[in-house]
Each structure stands twice: as C-alpha cells, then as structure tokens.
Amino acid sequence: MATKKAKAKKPAKKAAKKAAKPKAKRKPNPEFMKALTPSATLAAVVGSKPLARTEAVKKVWDYIKKNKLQDAKNKRNINADATLKPLFGGKSTISMFDLAKILSKHLS
C-alpha cells in the first residue's frame, strides 16, 4: 500500500474589505460649457442665443427626433430636411458620429 501525503489545507482567503471611498463627482470640462454663438445656419435650428456646445448638440437631436429625421433602417444615419441640409454641407444623409464635428464648424 502506498501512503498518500496529506495535503496541507490553505487558509481561506478573507475578503479584504476596503473602506468605501465616496466617488469624487466628475467636473465637466469648462470648454464644453463655454457659451458659443451659433452661425446663421445653425441658428435656424437651435436659436440665435449663445449656448454651450453640449446644449447645441442636444437641441439638434431634439429637432431630429421631433421631425423624425433619423433613418428607419439604419438608426445611425440622419436624413436632412430643408433646414438641416445647409447645415450638413448639402449632404442629404450624415452619420450621427459626424454630427458633433459638423456642429463645431458652426459654433464660434
């Protein structure tokens, strides 16, 4: 008979409880919050008052959803109507990922 060596049991690992640190509240980038004046083309959609870049994007999305301009088959595409076509540089359809880039040209 062969004798088996008894394996030494490893001590159970205790879950190290860390002191719960409260998460630091994230501060918005001041460049995004700076009020910018929209161009005449963009003002037709968002209004002529100076507004932050984030607010401009939100208002354009509100306009797109209100007028049902998001493509039904490919939700990533935005179809331009008569108001948005000059804003999009004459294109009839753009990708939603290009929207912020296009808007940055119309904010100063």
The stretches in the chain having pLDDT less than 50 are none
Q: Give Cα 43 to chain centroid, integer Å.
A: 21
Token pair belonging to 39? 């161009």
Q: Determine the Cα–Cα distance for residues 78 and 45; give it in Å rounded to an integer.
A: 15
pLDDT score for 39: 96
**Domains assigned to the chain:** 32-105 (1.10.245.10)
Q: Determine the Cα–Cα distance for residues 93 and 19; give it in Å rounded to an integer.
A: 52
pLDDT score for 44: 95
Q: What are phi and psi of 53, to 5 degrees?
A: -55, -40
pLDDT score for 33: 85
pLDDT score for 28: 76
Decide if 77 contacts 10 (C-beta within 8 A).
Answer: no
Find tokens 């630091």 and name the residue. Answer: 24
